[in-house]
Chains A and B, each alone.
Chain A
Amino acid sequence: MHASAYEVLASAASGTLSSFWLLIVIPAASGGILLLLGRRADRWGHLLGCASVGVAFVLGLVYFFQLGGLPATDRRATLDLFTFIQVAALKVDFGLLFDPLSAVFVLLITGVGFLIHVYAVGYMADDPKRRTFFAYFNIFVAAMLLLVLGNNYVMLYIGWEGVGLASYLLISFWYTRPSAATAGKKAFIMNRVGDAGLAIAIFVMFANLHTVSYDGVFANVDRFTSGTTLALGLLLLIGACGKSGQFPLQAWLPDAMEGPTPVSALIHAATMVTAGVYLIARSNPIFDANPTAQAVVAAVGAVTLLIGCIIGCAKDDIKRVLAWSTVSQIGYMFLGVGLGGGAYALAIIHLLAHGFFKAGLFLGAGSVMHAMNDQVDIRRFGGLWKYMKITWITFGVGWLAIIGIPPLSGFFSKEPIIAEAFDRPGWAGWVLGFAALLGAGLTAFYMTRLFVLTFHGPERWTDDIKHPHESPPVMTVPLMLLAIGSAAAGALMATPVQDWLNPTVFGVEGGEVPEHVHLSHTVVTILSIAITVLGGLLGWWLFRNGTSLQEQPAGPVVTAARKNLYGDTVNETVFEKPGTYLTRALVYFDNKGIDGLVNGLAAAVGGGSGRLRRAQTGFVRSYALSMLGGALLVAVAFLVVRLG
């Protein structure tokens, strides 16, 4: 069931499809106008912001159907707009590719994106910087579309860092709060760690093949040594982990909840954080060529999905619970793309379903916060179902969808991934399968806890809240549409999307039935429904009467989960603190050592340069020390040069 050799198809875009660059340009132009006009655009900026994404969605639909009208094997259109960089053998086009994989992403980004834009009109109504918000939001959409529409890795990289920029600007949107400013910076820097991995992967491709285009690389994967494909796979994985908040680069994502809630819904749940999944799915010929790299991806997915579930159980902040649940759900997608073969499409289906239900859950959380004076502590909610019926019902649909109750979308998208995990031969199948199964149970538990504590049980509100109110229609209509999507999407998507993606993108023939290695599909289905129901019932039973308002003392596991399994602590002790000390030491060394040394030499040579001699500080001993330090640095660098 592995992909057949990659075929490069002649596919220059023609007809209607030749204008699909408009998808990127329209939101980008709107964002640029909103930024350049400044306050002059305050009155209507949000309308332009919504309209540009709406138009992009309509265009996306048109292109989608155009593409669908083509025979299955010809479903791709490329567009080389102009030569971006050309130096000797390196030629990078500003080139785009519209194929089934990018098409579904375009619809997700613009469709869900449009609904969230509309919701934000209401959510940000009282914010004096609403126009700026929409400018950043538009820039994000444009960058994300470039990411999924590029036909080479450099285009992808530009979009990749572009969405990182938008994410940074929007997380620190309320920058007067130090926590928001810090969270934005943390997100950008941790993302850059991943970006460095992606950049090096591009260098490896060029050094090996003198090309960085998808077609050029994928058609020549068989020329790589297995060491090269492994290196490429792992480097791409580092990039994917950074953007998607996967282990070990997961710590920034929950902090990103400092941004306004629509940002959490669009960027940090539905679209940007799934870019890592896109990267791996897009690079499937590379991963198919190296089973070790695939296994590492699957392992990262399994570890992360458990990390996310465990921490999600211990959090009391409504947005943080959802954030960790995002980490965990993307873990399922990584597990899927790591399994390869038919599971690529399953991961993409889960990604689409997740885009709907997680966006709906976040927007529902925003609606609750609106009603509760921006309270985020689920211990201070309770009984809200009476006061905000639309939010309650739509959130309920999202809750049932994410835990995977049939016939909602989460069931159809998550359960096949669990089944595929069990189909992996050997002990790995058992480990991955049980991890995914356990994750399903834990998800049911913490999501039920969240739902019950928020909407049911006794009212535990803070004193300043008298009459919680439902949100205005501009916010509730997107909620309803997303709920419909979460309910129906899975069932509608499961088969057609698979047939849509498999032949052209993943090289998997339709109708292939995977071989069941450990457990039959029926057994897995029964097990996963059973464990989900069990987890849900346990959550309901434990929290049906609310919970205490203060944090209670807990055992080591819960304490560790509350502290994010010490991820931040590790970053702090391994990177931040030593980094700070190193920086301070170097500042001292540079001022007293290197500078003093050179000044001293100059004074000695010049003899009469009294001015410098007076200014210099330090003694022969410290000069000797700094000479040693400097020589050591150069020696280390030499070693690096000698390594090649």
Chain B
Amino acid sequence: MSDAGFPYLSLLTGLPLLGALVVALLPRTRPALAKQVALAWSIAVLGLALATWFAFEPNGDRFQLRESYPWIPTWDARFTFAIDGIALVMIALIAVLVPLVIIYSWDEVREETGTPAKRSVHAYFALLLALQSTMIGVFAAADIFLFYVFFEVMLVPMYFLIGSYGGARRQYAAVKFFLYSLVGGLLMLAAVIGLWVLGGHTFDWQRLTEADFSQGAERWLFLGFFIAFAIKAPFFPFHTWLPDAGGAAPAGAAALLVGVLDKVGTFGILRYCLPLFPNASKYFAPLGIALALVGIIYAALLAVGQNDLKRLVSYTSVAHFGFIGVGIFAFTTQAGSGAVLYMVNHGLATGLLFLVVGMFVSRRGSALVGDFGGAGKTVPVLSGVFIVAGLASLSLPGTAPFVSEFLVLLGTFSVYKTVAVVATLGIILGAAYVLWMIQRTTHGTPNPQMAKVRGMRRDLSWRESIVVGPLIALLVFFGFYPKPLLDVINPAVAYTLHDIKKEDPAPSAQEAGK
């Protein structure tokens, strides 16, 4: 049953999974074929995502392209897919990032046999496609049980990507990532069951928004979802798994982990916490803002103090998630749209930063900042790209993240002045950690140890420029012209704020003559 005519969403979810199976079943003697098939498949998904983008009416219904198939009739759980503008931009982000990550990983992942963790090229690319399938599914689901299933299954490919293909501490990081997410998932499962029992024995999102809960029940259910999402996002104080996971994961997987997978947390708050539990959301909003605000300052200071490039970038992301959190819980249209836009822009900017850091790390054979120095002399173009990625990450005007950070802060200021002022201090710290990182790696005279490594004399390759080129182009384009994104985000955010019955404050200055 599909009122869209064409089953965009189930195809978008299923196609990559099929691709994963095909790639996994290709003959093991031909690793190059696996890469080519995976790339072609992801490009096909990108094409389908583009078609979805144009099939979506920005000013149409809140949820569009709805499909619903029976699944578990006794629980009233159905395969229901439908997207609003927020889900649409996230799916588009996934579709853009995955092919680039596949191209990035082309020569980075090599077959390894005989070691305890056997690395297989096939499996790596199959896992990437499987991850893509689950990530699209989690954003496309409009049935809460279906969402929960994708939310949990999403962990599996990422667990293997970190645990089998990561750096030195990959085992520790993978288990930690899995356990943290599992704890969150269990809390959510409890809340999902509670929701089913109290909400009229259904998992349908639309019908659950109409359910009435007692004040106590609503707050407990909110907390179940919120903590699961706060771990996933991650918000302070649940953030410590991210630096380990981001530091140990291969750069391509890290880009997807931080760029997309974590956004399920902030997306979940917007899609589930706010509309389902509007009163509890308002009750707990100060808590959400407080945690996010601590994250902005605390994680930025920690980023300044890191000695490992990938951990550093992970901490910057925790700080950025703080901005998204503040934007969500400020409950104004500017802050809300800014937060959603931030989710997209951060995916592009931090995705780029992780990939460029990966290029440095694989050349040098180390992620320690101290092992670099003066790279601008040996690999000038790569260093230039690194600076561009860093500037986007500190939200320089002219790059897309500026627009979102500006919207979040401006929208927050009209309701929480002091919060916005403190958060604005975060932009100074942002400059500090990015420039300090750039200075220690690319500036100065070339580090003699580093200059001896042959890889550090190989500048940006043709393949790598295909990876970074589109990301830089998108960052600059949306930095000057964010309208295409805002056009689909704005209505969805307006609906969400309508769910919790919040309106923007009027201008505070007196009318003339009064």
Show the binding face of A for B, using Cβ within 8 Å: 38, 82-90, 94, 154, 157-158, 160-162, 165, 168, 172, 175-176, 178, 181-182, 184-185, 188-189, 192-193, 195-196, 199-200, 202-204, 206-210, 220, 222-225, 228, 579, 582-584, 586-587, 590, 594-595, 598-599, 602, 605-606, 609, 611-612, 615, 630, 633-634, 636-638, 640-644
Knowing A181-B444, A598-B237 touch, does A87 contact B419 (C-beta < 8 A)?
no
Residues of A within 8 A of B80 (CB): none
Residues of B within 8 A of A86 (CB): 483, 486, 490
- Shortest distance from the beta carbon of A198 to any chain B beta carbon, whole Å: 10
- Bound-state Cα–Cα, A157 to B425, Å: 16
Residues of B within 8 A of A640 (CB): 290, 293, 418-419, 422
In the complex, are the beta carbons of B435 and A185 less than 8 A apart?
yes
Knowing A598-B237, A637-B294 touch, does A223 contact B511 (C-beta < 8 A)?
yes
In the complex, are the beta carbons of A210 and B507 less than 8 A apart?
yes
- Shortest distance from the beta carbon of B448 to any chain A beta carbon, whole Å: 13
Knowing A209-B509, A615-B172, A644-B418 touch, does A175 contact B443 (C-beta < 8 A)?
yes
Say which one of B12-20, B205-213, B301-309 lies at the interface with A. Answer: B301-309
| Extra inter-chain contacts (9) besides given A192-B431, A225-B509, A630-B236, CB under 8 Å | A85-B407, A86-B486, A88-B504, A158-B402, A192-B428, A225-B510, A587-B302, A594-B237, A598-B180
Residues of B within 8 A of A84 (CB): 480-482
Of B171, B302, B396, the residue contacting A165 (CB under 8 A) is B396
Knowing A88-B504, A612-B176 touch, does A189 contact B334 (C-beta < 8 A)?
no
- Bound-state Cα–Cα, A86 to B333, Å: 11
- Shortest distance from the beta carbon of A494 to any chain B beta carbon, whole Å: 36
- Shortest distance from the beta carbon of B57 to any chain A beta carbon, whole Å: 18
In the complex, are the beta carbons of A196 and B238 less than 8 A apart?
no
Of B183, B291, B334, the residue contacting A87 (CB under 8 A) is B334
Knowing A220-B512, A637-B293 touch, does A176 contact B494 (C-beta < 8 A)?
no
Sort A-B residue pairs by CB-CB distance and give the 9 closest, nearest first.
A203-B413, A637-B290, A181-B443, A583-B305, A595-B240, A88-B333, A208-B509, A643-B418, A158-B397
In the complex, residue of chain A having the shortest beta-carbon distance to the beta carbon of B179: A602
Knowing A165-B396, A594-B240, A611-B172 touch, does A633 contact B425 (C-beta < 8 A)?
no
- Bound-state Cα–Cα, A203 to B482, Å: 20
In the complex, are the beta carbons of A202 and B237 less than 8 A apart?
no
The verdict on B48 contacting chain A, using a C-beta distance below 8 Å, is: no
Of A206, A579, A633, the residue contacting B294 (CB under 8 A) is A633
6 contacts between A and B (CB under 8 A): A88-B494, A90-B410, A189-B428, A223-B512, A579-B301, A583-B305
Residues of B within 8 A of A158 (CB): 397-398, 402
In the complex, are the beta carbons of B302 and A590 less than 8 A apart?
yes
A contact patch SS: helix
Say which one of B137-145, B189-197, B355-363, B374-382 lies at the interface with A. Answer: B374-382
In the complex, residue of chain B having the shortest beta-carbon distance to the beta carbon of A588: B305
The verdict on B217 contacting chain A, using a C-beta distance below 8 Å, is: no
- Bound-state Cα–Cα, A641 to B391, Å: 29
Residues of A within 8 A of B415 (CB): 644
In the complex, residue of chain A having the shortest beta-carbon distance to the beta carbon of B490: A87
Interface 1/0s, chain B 401-422, versus A by CB < 8 A? 0110011011101111111111
- Shortest distance from the beta carbon of B163 to any chain A beta carbon, whole Å: 12
- Bound-state Cα–Cα, A160 to B508, Å: 27
Show the binding face of B for A, using Cβ within 8 Å: 171-172, 175-176, 179-180, 183, 236-238, 240, 286-287, 289-291, 293-294, 298, 301-302, 304-306, 333-334, 337-338, 374, 376-377, 381, 391, 396-398, 402-403, 406-407, 409-411, 413-422, 424-425, 427-428, 431-432, 435-436, 439, 442-445, 480-483, 486, 490, 494, 504-505, 507-512
- Bound-state Cα–Cα, A196 to B442, Å: 27
Of B290, B443, B504, B505, the residue contacting A176 (CB under 8 A) is B443
In the complex, are the beta carbons of B486 and A87 less than 8 A apart?
yes
Knowing A181-B443, A182-B439, A598-B240 touch, does A207 contact B298 (C-beta < 8 A)?
no
Of A82, A182, A203, A606, the residue contacting B420 (CB under 8 A) is A203
- Shortest distance from the beta carbon of B284 to any chain A beta carbon, whole Å: 12
In the complex, residue of chain B having the shortest beta-carbon distance to the beta carbon of A189: B431
- Bound-state Cα–Cα, A599 to B173, Å: 12
In the complex, residue of chain A having the shortest beta-carbon distance to the beta carbon of B446: A176
Of A182, A199, A634, the residue contacting B291 (CB under 8 A) is A634
- Bound-state Cα–Cα, A370 to B337, Å: 54
In the complex, are the beta carbons of A88 and B334 less than 8 A apart?
yes
In the complex, are the beta carbons of B509 and A85 less than 8 A apart?
no
- Bound-state Cα–Cα, A167 to B271, Å: 43
In the complex, are the beta carbons of B305 and A202 less than 8 A apart?
no
In the complex, are the beta carbons of B374 and A587 less than 8 A apart?
no
- Bound-state Cα–Cα, A66 to B146, Å: 65
Residues of B within 8 A of A85 (CB): 403, 406-407, 482, 486
In the complex, are the beta carbons of B509 and A598 less than 8 A apart?
no
Residues of A within 8 A of B298 (CB): 586, 590, 633
- Bound-state Cα–Cα, A195 to B294, Å: 22
In the complex, residue of chain B having the shortest beta-carbon distance to the beta carbon of A208: B509
Residues of A within 8 A of B509 (CB): 208-209, 220, 223-225, 228
- Shortest distance from the beta carbon of B436 to any chain A beta carbon, whole Å: 7
**Which of B305, B425, B486 has the most chain A CB within a 10 Å cutoff?**
B305
- Bound-state Cα–Cα, A611 to B174, Å: 11
In the complex, are the beta carbons of A644 and B417 less than 8 A apart?
yes
Residues of B within 8 A of A178 (CB): 443-444
Residues of A within 8 A of B398 (CB): 158, 161-162
- Shortest distance from the beta carbon of A122 to any chain B beta carbon, whole Å: 24
In the complex, are the beta carbons of A641 and B305 less than 8 A apart?
no
In the complex, are the beta carbons of B290 and A638 less than 8 A apart?
yes
In the complex, are the beta carbons of A188 and B431 less than 8 A apart?
yes
- Bound-state Cα–Cα, A84 to B175, Å: 45
In the complex, are the beta carbons of B512 and A602 less than 8 A apart?
no
In the complex, are the beta carbons of A87 and B240 less than 8 A apart?
no
Residues of A within 8 A of B420 (CB): 200, 203
In the complex, residue of chain B having the shortest beta-carbon distance to the beta carbon of A143: B398
In the complex, are the beta carbons of A157 and B417 less than 8 A apart?
no
Of B172, B376, B508, the residue contacting A208 (CB under 8 A) is B508
In the complex, are the beta carbons of A38 and B289 less than 8 A apart?
no
In the complex, are the beta carbons of B435 and A188 less than 8 A apart?
yes
In the complex, are the beta carbons of A185 and B176 less than 8 A apart?
no
Residues of A within 8 A of B287 (CB): 638
Residues of B within 8 A of A636 (CB): 294
**Which of B304, B431, B482, B494 has the most chain A CB within a 10 Å cutoff?**
B431
- Shortest distance from the beta carbon of A422 to any chain B beta carbon, whole Å: 36
In the complex, are the beta carbons of A641 and B443 less than 8 A apart?
no
- Shortest distance from the beta carbon of A456 to any chain B beta carbon, whole Å: 39
- Bound-state Cα–Cα, A157 to B420, Å: 18
In the complex, are the beta carbons of A583 and B302 less than 8 A apart?
yes
- Shortest distance from the beta carbon of A157 to any chain B beta carbon, whole Å: 6
In the complex, residue of chain A having the shortest beta-carbon distance to the beta carbon of B444: A178
Of A225, A598, A606, the residue contacting B238 (CB under 8 A) is A598
- Shortest distance from the beta carbon of A33 to any chain B beta carbon, whole Å: 15
- Bound-state Cα–Cα, A178 to B240, Å: 33
Residues of B within 8 A of A199 (CB): 406, 409, 424, 427
- Bound-state Cα–Cα, A590 to B482, Å: 36
**Which of A178, A583, A612, A643 has the most chain B CB within a 10 Å cutoff?**
A583
Knowing A90-B334, A587-B302, A587-B306 touch, does A175 contact B444 (C-beta < 8 A)?
yes
Residues of A within 8 A of B436 (CB): 185
Residues of B within 8 A of A223 (CB): 509-512
In the complex, residue of chain B having the shortest beta-carbon distance to the beta carbon of A35: B384
**Which of B306, B376, B415, B443 has the most chain A CB within a 10 Å cutoff?**
B443
- Shortest distance from the beta carbon of A578 to any chain B beta carbon, whole Å: 11
- Bound-state Cα–Cα, A210 to B511, Å: 12
In the complex, are the beta carbons of A583 and B424 less than 8 A apart?
no
Residues of B within 8 A of A192 (CB): 427-428, 431
In the complex, are the beta carbons of A189 and B240 less than 8 A apart?
no
- Bound-state Cα–Cα, A165 to B289, Å: 31
In the complex, residue of chain B having the shortest beta-carbon distance to the beta carbon of A601: B183
In the complex, are the beta carbons of B175 and A641 less than 8 A apart?
no
